[in-house]
Chain A
Amino acid sequence: MSQEISERAQRAKAKKALLGEDVDIERYTTETNEYGPLTSLGEISKEYEQDLLNAGIEPTEKERSGSFLQRDRSVIFSRVKYPGLELMSTTEAIKKYDWLKDYLWKLIPVDMDKYTAEVELAPSHGYFIRAEAGSKVTMPVQSCLFITSEKIRQNVHNIAIAEENSELHIITGCSVSHTVNSALHLGISEFYVKKGAKITFTMVHNWSGGMEVRPRSAVAIEDDGVFISNYILVTPVKSLQMFPTMYCRGRNARATSQSIVYALDNARIDLGSRAVLQGEGSRAEIISRVIATDNAKVIARGDLIGAAKHVKGHLECRGLMLSDTAEVESIPELKATRRDLDLSHEAAVGKIAEEEIQYLMSRGLSEEEATSVIIRGFLNVDITGLPDALANETKRMFDMSLKKVM
């Protein structure tokens, strides 16, 4: 840990974030039980199995190239089953690789806000995933950050690196046990997609009504690299704010971000994606689908910055209102700094159209069935760029999440 970085973190300890309401970090404790390692994921107490399943984690480790489980502030499981893939806690990786300092806090400034500072000053692991050059790890690696204790802070720093011409598929579930009422999750994720490499990242957030969540994520994509992110949140959450940034640095770098959010109860969600198109011919697509019901308030952001020749970016943000006490604010932003590029956006917020319900009823569905079909359809984004098995798996995860909603 460099002196300079921790000094910067110290100075940012009280720095409020630009977005989202301020979270009182001191309400949460860093003092927690330590948990001993498991020899297999299946050993996790039956009580927690459903909490993992809900976050898309496969306890049998079947069809996974590796599995990682962090419980509260302890890494309790990490196993790789695939050559060419590395998986360990970030703490371990820092000890093992001196060069890792070139990847830590390089995409996200440590003094961005008090949350980044907190993760630096009181870290509790996180995962390190790396695909070696040329290695195509088509089976996904799964990682779960799991909270099981009341009032804790989970401060993780995750690093994923796809070396040149490699392929890496990550399924990550952030989950809280049904036994926990409130906790804080701070997650720093810095991902690197090297030349010709590909990372797909499917993240399921399985929170509950007392959770405060402040992830800080950024991705750097080099020449011909591909990054695809799928994000799902369909459970209650007290407060969540994140605005991950994808830097398309290389020529023909590609970035896609798809988010589906079902905001309910009293959730306060401020969520967006940003793509910075710096490499010639790079492309980005940001798609979000937001459903708001009960008293939930959602700000859905999208930001495209075009700063290189022949870049192309598209934003699509759709919101569906299911209650008169919910709120959706859609904020798409486009910024171009030269002429030979193409940026576009479409945004729409509305209610379920009566005529769509009637159309479905005229094919035999009841009003409730029709509503549920429309909601599922609304959240049904096309999953492209994933290997078949993973696409099906992601589809299954979407469906499972949606079933909970209905």
Chain B
Amino acid sequence: MAPAGCKILDIKDLTVEVEGKEIITDLNLCIERGEVHVLFGPNGCGKTTLLMTILGFPAYKVKKGRILFKDVDITDLPTNERVKQGMGMSFQHPPEIRGVKLGDMVNIAMGRKEGKIDERVVELGKMLNIPVEFLNRDVNLGFSGGEVKRSEILQLLAQTPDFLMFDEPDSGVDVENIELIGDLMNELLGREKIPSKRERSGLIITHSGFIMRYIKPDRAHVMLNGRIACSGIPDEVARHIIEEGFERCVKVCGEKVCAE
């Protein structure tokens, strides 16, 4: 285990291709232990590609650069090996799997190879207002947008990773549920602790920035055309985006904060 305070994720000069097309170019990103970063950017700028590449999905080909996770080079590891090192992901559009129940996914996330939907699973479900009947449904099959989010968070709760990625946790969620999701994200990320005691880290993708009403990240980045175009204090970056749009925001804060 690396000592507290060191980098949990260190991405160096990363270039990624998907189906032969370059999506990410020479990207650098560093997340310290205990920090939560938020990644803004317009649709198609490469945000989701970055998360999938960190997770190691094979369609995302690393052409150049390295990904270090807890000081270990994971660039060539398969997804499940990376997950074993302590990363987890909340997907925006997870696939439906017929015959595999949400409860089965919770068991898998807990590291149980086979298992019944027992008390432990039911207890976890309760934390997200997920009833037993819902645990018995085929995962993601006919789930509403909000149900997908809750199901993803439930699986992360079961998995307890120490680096968590959230792909658009605020899209398609109704007002009642977004607060619950925000609360649980704070809990998953251990945000109730004072900053120097925080152990868990996160990377949140948000197009709207809506989730920032409920969770306060430490640092924000704006991604444009496959690069991190600028970085800064989350509230400030968000304000520029809302007032002036992504392109303009990069121009305004680009010189101010990106020169690190």
Contact = CB atoms under 8 A, between A and B. Distances in A.
Contacts of A356: 95, 97
A249 B57 CA distance: 54
B159 interface: yes
Nearest to B155: A363
Interface in B97-135: 97-100, 104-105, 108-109, 111, 113
Interface in B74-97: 78-80, 83-84, 88-89, 91, 94-95, 97
Nearest to B159: A363
B159 A377 contact: no
A378 B138 CA distance: 11
Given A359-B91, A364-B108, A364-B109, A377 B79 contact: no
Contacts of B80: 361-362, 364-367
B55 interface: yes
Contacts of A318: 98
Nearest to A381: B99
A355 interface: yes
Contacts of A310: none
B57 A374 contact: no
A380 B137 CA distance: 12
Contacts of A358: 57-58, 79
Q: Which of A360, A366, A376, A381 has the most CB of B within 10 A?
A: A360
Q: Which of A355, A361, A363, A379 has the most CB of B within 10 A?
A: A363
A373 B100 contact: yes
Interface in B131-159: 138, 155, 159
Interface in A341-364: 353-356, 358-364
Contacts of B97: 356, 359-360, 373-374, 377
Nearest to B108: A363
B83 A377 contact: no
Given A356-B97, A358-B57, A373 B104 contact: yes
Contacts of B113: 369
- A interface, over-half SS: helix
B115 to A, nearest CB: 12
B83 A376 contact: no
B99 A360 contact: no
A373 B95 contact: no
A364 B104 CA distance: 13
B221 to A, nearest CB: 23
B55 A362 contact: yes
Contacts of B99: 376-381
B79 A361 contact: yes
A360 B78 contact: no
A204 to B, nearest CB: 19
Contacts, number: 68
Interface string B43-69: 000000000000101110000000000
Given A355-B95, A365-B108, A374 B100 contact: yes
Given A359-B91, A363-B105, A363-B108, A377 B78 contact: no
Contacts of A355: 95
Contacts of A354: 58-59
Nearest to A348: B98
Interface in B154-181: 155, 159
Contacts of B84: 364
A364 B111 contact: yes
Contacts of A359: 91, 94-95, 97
B156 to A, nearest CB: 9
Contact of A363 (B98, B109, B138): B109
Interface in A5-25: none
Contacts of B57: 358
Contacts of B159: 363-364
Q: Which of A359, A367, A380 has the most CB of B within 10 A?
A: A359
B100 A362 contact: no
Contacts of A366: 78, 80
A367 B55 CA distance: 14
A354 B57 CA distance: 10
Given A358-B57, A362-B79, A377 B100 contact: yes
Contacts of A376: 99-100
A361 B78 contact: yes
A365 B100 CA distance: 14
B138 to A, nearest CB: 8
B106 to A, nearest CB: 9
A38 to B, nearest CB: 36
A356 B105 CA distance: 12
Interface in A373-397: 373-374, 376-381
Interface in B206-246: none
Interface string A155-175: 000000000000000000000
A367 B95 contact: no
A377 B139 CA distance: 11
Nearest to B99: A377
A363 B97 CA distance: 14
Contacts of B138: 377
A19 B228 CA distance: 64
A373 B108 contact: yes
Contacts of A377: 97-100, 104, 138
A286 to B, nearest CB: 17
Given A359-B95, A377-B104, 12 more contacts: A353-B95, A361-B79, A362-B55, A364-B159, A365-B108, A366-B78, A367-B78, A369-B113, A373-B108, A377-B98, A377-B138, A380-B98
Closest 8 CB pairs of A and B: A377-B99, A380-B99, A377-B100, A361-B79, A361-B80, A355-B95, A363-B109, A364-B83
10 contacts: A354-B58, A358-B79, A359-B97, A361-B83, A362-B89, A364-B109, A365-B80, A367-B78, A374-B97, A378-B98
Interface of A: 318, 353-356, 358-367, 369, 373-374, 376-381
